[in-house]
Amino acid sequence: MAFIPHTETDVREMLRAIGVDSIDQLFDEIPSALRVDGLKGIPNALNEMGITRVMHRRSVRDGEPLTFIGAGAYEHHIPAAVWEIATRGEFYSAYTPYQAEASQGTLQLIYEFQTMMASLTGLDVSNASMYDGASALGEAALMAVRANRKSSSARVLMPRTLHPLYSKVAKAVAGNQGLEFVDIDYDHANGTLNLEALEAAAQGDLTALVIPQPNFLGRFEDVDALTDWAHAREAQVIAVVNPMSLALIKPPGEWGEKGADIACGEGQPLGVPLSSGGPYFGFMTCRQSWVRQMPGRIVGRTTDLDGRTGYVLTLQAREQHIRRSKATSNICTNQGLMVTGATIYMSLLGAEGLAGVATACMANTARMLEVLGKVDGVELAFTGPQFHEAVIKLDCPVAPVLEHLASQGIAGGYDLSVDYPELGNALLVCATETKSEEDIVMFGEALGRAVAAVAGGEALSAEKLT
Amino acid sequence: MADVPGDLKYSKDHEWVRLEEDGDVTIGVTDHAQAALGDMVFVELPEIGATLAEGDACAVVESVKAASDVYSPLNGEVIGVNDALADAPELVNQDPYGDGWIYRMKLDNEDDLDELMSAEEYLALLEDEA
């Protein structure tokens, strides 16, 4: 099937009309040094039959393990109605339409989504979505630099309790645009941001502080004190939050005396399946005063000449089709289909339903920690409340334990030893509302067997060596 | 025809400059510029205390049609901004040379004013552009 609507005749006629012989000639002002001759490492195109086969093979490889891994993407129950409704012909598109105002239904849905996200985060305005949570943070950092005109350093403080991949992506997105990201160490004994390290890094001009809540280690940061600390230094506060947790905990808009300036995060927990890692979507909200610095599309509600409600794309002077190189971002479309799913998910659950899911996650995680804490060779890394994730420490290497668990059909968690070597044999485990008492007990038993086998094997090989 | 007061100086980017009695200058966009841009919906003002070099983009005027940078026509320091524009950007349309002023600046060197256009020269530029 041809997805490009222009026939060769169309192309020839268009070229003739503008007096150019070929498409190459049309672009000949672009220097050859800037041109790409083919893309390396990109496989050949496949037809539908071929690609279906590849994707099936890959999905089988993922399997359907009993999942205790979170680390940024979370397994939640998704009511069957969500994707049944989202895949109706009226909704089924990944794009905001080019003739946007002709698609009132799409715009209304995005408007409802924005209202829900603003409400969840306790802030004034939301955009129509970002690519994912990590790139949303990169955009939020750029936005903070634009909005904070009292600061000239473009220094953004990034706690190590932030998701390590978010940190990498933000540096990749914004690092070459004059921003300086400063990593702030955490308190290794309790898994939250180290205030002394923060003070030490805060010498001189600051543009923004990133605060993850809950943080990557599942811990709660002292967001009120951190927010006030940043504002006292005229730095902006960027909240990185799990939207599901906001049904229970204080939203960024209420942090400290003035609230966070920008909130962003990963929208996947709101009705988007894990799907081998994507597609997901990011969200971003902010205070009204910074709206002109916000990237992405924003849908507004208005009335037409006859007084009827209508929806429009608004504040477009921020965008590249008007502001060109000075646009707030080159993001021009959004993860429309994922947003549709999330909006339906939130509509079906409502505020009470979301709070119910969040409460069940927290209760299951507390129960899981109770069970895992009693397993031989396992101890809890930190004490205190956790949302739906926590760090446990093993008395043997993590990777072979995870392999052992995988062989029993269990995705046992995220190995922290690469990104957080100072924590030793640390494993990040997660229990959402999808886990039953039996699942948790089974996980505890399997983990005990795995640790015993790995530790025993190590002892055996150590004996052989001596 | 656009209003071009004879007592002001002008830049090729359609800003006007008025030398005040205290030696500071007031800067805004010309009647021609406001008419070309259309109804203003937002003005992003410079930061007081900012040091500007000639040609620096220091403010943004956003209309229903477009968003355009305002370039500083002179070197100096921003000493005042027209806060009234935050709630009433339409002042730029209604009174571009009066209540629609954008910012005030302390000049590094008053002689720089001589580099700008007179009203006659600016009128000639407008005719050329037309």
Lowest mean pLDDT among A4-8, A111-115, A173-177, B81-85: A4-8
Look at residue B123 and tell me if it is in a domain. no
Look at residue B33 and tell me if it is in a domain. yes
At B27-74, the pLDDT tens digits run: 999 999 999 999 999 999 999 999 999 999 999 999 987 889 999 999
By C-alpha distance, the chain A residue nearest B67 is A317
Q: How confident is the model at residue A324 (pLDDT cuts 50, 70, 90)?
A: confident
E strands, A233-333, are 236-241, 262-266, 282-286, 299-303, 309-313
Looking at the structure, tell me whether residues A140 and A259 fall in a common domain.
Answer: yes
Looking at the structure, tell me whether residues A212 and A357 fall in a common domain.
Answer: no
ipTM, 2 dp? 0.79
pLDDT at A466 over 60: no
Looking at the complex, report in whole angstroms how far the Cα of residue B79 sits from the nearest Cα belonging to chain A: 15
Look at residue B44 and tell me if it is in a domain. yes
Lowest mean pLDDT among A91-95, A259-263, A398-402, B49-53: A91-95
**pLDDT at residue A464, as a whole number:** 59
Cα separation, A170 vs A181, in Å, equals 9
**pLDDT at residue A409, as a whole number:** 95
Domain that holds residue A294: 80-344
The whole-number average pLDDT for the span A4-30 is 91
* Closest listed residue to residue A392, CA positions, set A451, A442, A449, A432: A451
Contact A390, A373 (CB under 8 A): no
Average pLDDT, chain B: 94
Look at residue A273 and tell me if it is in a domain. yes
Looking at the structure, tell me whether residues A360 and A320 fall in a common domain.
Answer: no
Q: Could you tell me which residues of chain A have a Cβ less than 8 Å from any Cβ in chain B?
A: 149-150, 292, 317-318, 322-323, 326
pLDDT at A444 over 90: yes
Looking at the structure, tell me whether residues A265 and A406 fall in a common domain.
Answer: no
Look at residue B3 and tell me if it is in a domain. no
β-bridge partners, A429: A390
CB-based contact A292 B66, cutoff 8 Å: no
Looking at the complex, report in whole angstroms how far the Cα of residue B95 sits from the nearest Cα belonging to chain A: 23
Look at residue A40 and tell me if it is in a domain. no
Looking at the complex, report in whole angstroms how far the Cα of residue A155 sits from the nearest Cα belonging to chain B: 19
Cα separation, B90 vs B93, in Å, equals 5
pLDDT at A333 over 70: no
Among residues A306, A323, A344, the one where a domain terminates is: A344
Q: How confident is the model at residue A459 (pLDDT cuts 50, 70, 90)?
A: low
Looking at the structure, tell me whether residues A422 and A445 fall in a common domain.
Answer: yes
SS3 A186: strand
Look at residue A19 and tell me if it is in a domain. no
Looking at the structure, tell me whether residues A150 and A202 fall in a common domain.
Answer: yes
Q: Which residue is it, tokens 């969200």? A: A283
pLDDT at A315 over 90: no
At A101-130, the pLDDT tens digits run: 888 988 999 999 999 999 999 999 999 999
Q: How confident is the model at residue A465 (pLDDT cuts 50, 70, 90)?
A: low
Among residues A309, A329, A344, the one where a domain terminates is: A344
Looking at the structure, tell me whether residues A340 and A359 fall in a common domain.
Answer: no
Question: What is the dihedral angle through the alpha carbons of A337, A338, A342, A345, rounded to the nearest 10 degrees?
Answer: 70
Q: Give the rounded percent of residues in chain B with a pLDDT score beyond 90.
A: 92
Residue B57: CATH number of its domain: 2.40.50.100
At A409-439, the pLDDT tens digits run: 999 999 999 999 999 999 999 999 999 999 9
Instruction: Say what angle helices A437-465 and A336-373 make with each other, to 10 degrees.
Output: 70
- Beta strand A208-213 with A236-241: parallel, antiparallel or unpaired? parallel
Among residues A344, A368, A384, the one where a domain terminates is: A344
Q: Give the rounded percent of residues in chain A with a pLDDT score beyond 90.
A: 76
Which residue type does A160 have? R
Contact B104, B24 (CB under 8 A): yes
Look at residue A23 and tell me if it is in a domain. no
Which of A149, A150, A317 is the closest to B67 by Cβ?
A317
Three-state DSSP string of B54-77: CCCEEEEEEECCCEEEEECCCCEE
C-alpha to C-alpha distances, A420 to A287, A379, A402, A434, nearest whole angstrom: 34, 17, 17, 28
pLDDT at A1 over 60: no
Looking at the structure, tell me whether residues A335 and A356 fall in a common domain.
Answer: no
Based on the structure, what is the number of domains in chain A? 2
Looking at the structure, tell me whether residues A285 and A372 fall in a common domain.
Answer: no
Look at residue B1 and tell me if it is in a domain. no
**pLDDT at residue A326, as a whole number:** 79
Its pTM stands at: 0.89
Looking at the structure, tell me whether residues A288 and A368 fall in a common domain.
Answer: no
Looking at the complex, report in whole angstroms how far the Cα of residue B19 sits from the nearest Cα belonging to chain A: 27
By C-alpha distance, the chain A residue nearest B40 is A317
Look at residue B127 and tell me if it is in a domain. no
The whole-number average pLDDT for the span B89-118 is 95
By C-alpha distance, the chain A residue nearest B46 is A149
Radius of gyration of chain A (CA): 25
Look at residue A73 and tell me if it is in a domain. no
Look at residue A30 and tell me if it is in a domain. no
Look at residue A229 and tell me if it is in a domain. yes
**pLDDT at residue A96, as a whole number:** 66
**pLDDT: which is higher, B115 or A44:** B115
Q: How confident is the model at residue A66 (pLDDT cuts 50, 70, 90)?
A: very high
CB-based contact A149 B66, cutoff 8 Å: no
Domain that holds residue B45: 9-111
pLDDT at A462 over 80: no
Q: Which residue is it, tokens 């490492």? A: A41
Cα separation, B41 vs A316, in Å, equals 12
pLDDT at A9 over 60: yes
Contact A128, A110 (CB under 8 A): yes
Q: Tally the residues of chain B.
A: 130
Looking at the structure, tell me whether residues A262 and A386 fall in a common domain.
Answer: no
Average pLDDT, chain A: 93
φ, ψ at A225 (rounded to 5°): -65, -40
CB-based contact A323 B47, cutoff 8 Å: no
Residue A453: CATH number of its domain: 3.90.1150.10
Based on the structure, what is the number of domains in chain B? 1
Look at residue A62 and tell me if it is in a domain. no
